[in-house]
Structure 1
């Protein structure tokens, strides 16, 4: 950038750069939400950023030949939404050698922008379309082949009178065969925004250990648009990730909606960004458009609308806000702990420290008015064992005189602690008042 004076100013980050520090996402969202003052350019912010992304999408000309083949056309829910050949899931186990037997409309999605240090930690997704009647068997072949244990479904079976996904699981407590795979619906747990199903999967053609699939169906995504607020989606993703993390040597998370690009893309991008923040901390850099561009290089059309694009920002912002509040609360708790741990007490001799420790114990006991414990703390035996039942209260008071305090504790005059003397006087007053 060059100023009017001719001085060249080198910017660390261009004005129109989309990379931001995660902790500053609130400022970025505020900027994108601003209404343009320039009447010649009424649409700015999210709309403009998303439009630039859409123009870049047109430049992605990866081959999609497999999906265009005549034998595979019936396996595509939408004729214009086809998987890239470079990242498509290939079904290795086929029933025949016929053409198209290895095809399914699905792509692997990875965080390819992750550096080598975190590459192994990154999750792998499979983004796919909602099942058709003639693709359910292929779907279960894919799930079994990829050793997937978690399926995320972000649509209902029917929306606005149209089928969005054929049911590919049996009713509760029933079983159903899908080719060589037997699926049993063991459990269903309805939650506020989703249903969690536990599916038991076995092979019919060979002996294998039982495999359990966790099926998360999110129900609160409206037919058109996005959820009103991202809290439900964030909680849903947290549950999905918790389950995935408990699985040993598990495969990719299978994510689908109807077309496998809109809600599916939105969910995957949010999860990728949150993973980056979790691993690198709130001071890391994130880039929403670049992340979307990255997943679009693996499956075309991911994140379909401006509303979905904005929702990603809202979800990441809420995640960061929650993380910051949690961090601040933890820091406050640590500060309080340090305040107490930093208190230093004066050095004491061994004899004095023993008595002072005893006094500190007695002070807490005194709140319960437990006189026997008080006596023990100043080296007195309890009245029940020191005196007979016929002893008068006035005699007890005499034994609790200052002189007796010195005698019983073995201390010389001036050495007895103020607290021990206070105990004597307190007990003396109590007995005198009851005479």
Structure 2
């Protein structure tokens, strides 16, 4: 699997990717859409085009007698050899300009069923010595996550509400503020009080789907003593039935979230609402509390809130293995499905971006796999980019980024095992114990739902294309 290979990517889309990266010498290889069988090397140059951005050069790769060439002089057995040669030498265009291949634009799309091999590949490249040097090169998961960080720095969206003097004290961390365009606005706020409709929370949904009806989440920070009433106002107005808390109240001596629920078998007033804790159960990695909320003096309007607190996730780190998180998500989604008219699931940690972003992205990708099947294409990097456009900084560390890959990989392996077991009619498979049961999720009513990054019938380039050529490639 060669990561600079992007399959059926159009010229304009290749230009868009390279221009956004804005690093001259960034390159990728793609199949020609106009002439199937042809390949094109697209490279961002130093030159400025008429549009004012850096020019992208598209260089056609020919195939002569089962060997690859650019221009006919040097012949190579594989595309990989050709790319490595021109990384050292550069390519002279007909105009006399020289194009240099400095760093690949890695493809992060992978077929779901092949994710295990991608994880192994990303792990290996971390310790691979770079060309001509004895030093270790940073690649693999670091390379993909670093590219995401550079893109994040270019997102310019207003956080004006969170910056208001009246709202500054409502933010747990002064640099983690909600985007204005996706923030949750508190209803029934006092119009006389500036900022009374503010809470540090954003709606997040899967925008990689073209059809409507997708799951919506609310990502928010851990409550401060001064924001607990606002939190319960949000729970009530959004008709939420499931809250996912991925932090302990105190970690390493630091307050991460004030307990915003009452002790077991007691009730407490939070602003306009009364919340009671009916029960509390402890599982291996998490606690489940059954809470009830009702407006003050209107007990008949009470409805249940299921509070899931995951306890085995270290701050800024990741759990040792993903099985516990996957089991937890199964329970959470099973409960959410019991309330067909429920509003968004609320997810929070302390800042509401690291563990919150990680668990939210895992859940979204599992939903995609459940709906489209194990043969769909997924792009973890693109998912994170998409959720970061709705709440900044989602998925904070490289370790969390890698954990998403590991969780999705394990989910797929378990799903395959379950499918294989169900195919067996022999009863000896009847007691097969899996690490976790995949969540039962609603399958989309619209069977024509299209995942934006899905290339049906065309997976990432097969190994044979790099070791043995097929088709002919004409010079541009």
TM-score between both structures, scaled by the size of structure 2: 0.67
- The DSSP-based 3-state class of the residue aligned with 1:71 is coil
TM superposition shift of 1:335: 12
Instruction: Provide the residue aligned with 2:292 in structure 1.
Output: 200
TM superposition shift of 1:5: 5.2
- The DSSP-based 3-state class of the residue aligned with 2:184 is coil
Equivalent position to 1:64, from 148, 159, 165: 159
- The DSSP-based 3-state class of the residue aligned with 1:50 is helix
Distance change in 2, residues 1:197/1:17 (3 Å): same
TM superposition shift of 1:209: 2.3
Greater share of residues in strand: 2
TM superposition shift of 1:329: 1.7
Matched residue pairs, number?
Answer: 332
Instruction: Provide the residue aligned with 2:69 in structure 1.
Output: 4
CA contact (8 A) 2:316 2:397 kept: no
Equivalent position to 1:186, from 278, 297, 305: 278
CA contact (8 A) 2:106 2:144 kept: no
Which digits, 9 at most, give the CA deviation of each residue in 1:372-406, with x for residues without a partner? xxxxxxxxxxxxxxxxxxxxxxxxxxxxxxxxxxx
Equivalent position to 1:30, from 93, 96, 120: 120
In structure 1, what is the Cα distance between the partners aligned to 2:160 and 2:306? Answer: 33
Instruction: Provide the residue aligned with 2:142 in structure 1.
Output: 47
TM superposition shift of 1:37: 2.3
Equivalent position to 1:75, from 132, 149, 170: 170
Q: Which runs of 4+ in 1 moved over 3 A?
A: 5-11, 205-208
In structure 2, what is the Cα distance between the partners aligned to 1:224 and 1:86? Answer: 27
Which digits, 9 at most, give the CA deviation of each residue in 1:33-91, with x for residues without a partner? 01222145611100111000000000101100000000000000000000000000000
TM-score between both structures, scaled by the size of structure 1: 0.73
Q: How does 1:30-429 map to 2 (within 5 A)?
A: 30-34=120-124, 35-38=127-130, 39=134, 42-95=137-190, 97-116=192-211, 119-120=212-213, 122-204=214-296, 206=298, 208-333=300-425
Equivalent position to 1:19, from 104, 109, 121: 109
In structure 2, what is the Cα distance between the partners aligned to 1:291 and 1:174? Answer: 41
RMSD: 2.2
In structure 1, what is the Cα distance between the partners aligned to 2:70 and 2:388? Answer: 43
Distance change in 2, residues 1:101/1:10 (3 Å): farther
Which digits, 9 at most, give the CA deviation of each residue in 1:252-299, with x for residues without a partner? 000000000000000000000000000000000100000000000000
Unaligned runs of 5+ in 1: 337-435
Larger displacement relative to structure 2 (223-232 or 285-294): 223-232
TM superposition shift of 1:246: 0.7
In structure 1, what is the Cα distance between the partners aligned to 2:417 and 2:143? Answer: 31
Greater share of residues in helix: 1
Which digits, 9 at most, give the CA deviation of each residue in 1:341-388, with x for residues without a partner? xxxxxxxxxxxxxxxxxxxxxxxxxxxxxxxxxxxxxxxxxxxxxxxx
TM superposition shift of 1:330: 2.0
CA contact (8 A) 1:180 1:205 kept: no
Q: Which has the larger radius of gyration?
A: 1
Distance change in 2, residues 1:331/1:6 (3 Å): farther
TM superposition shift of 1:205: 5.3
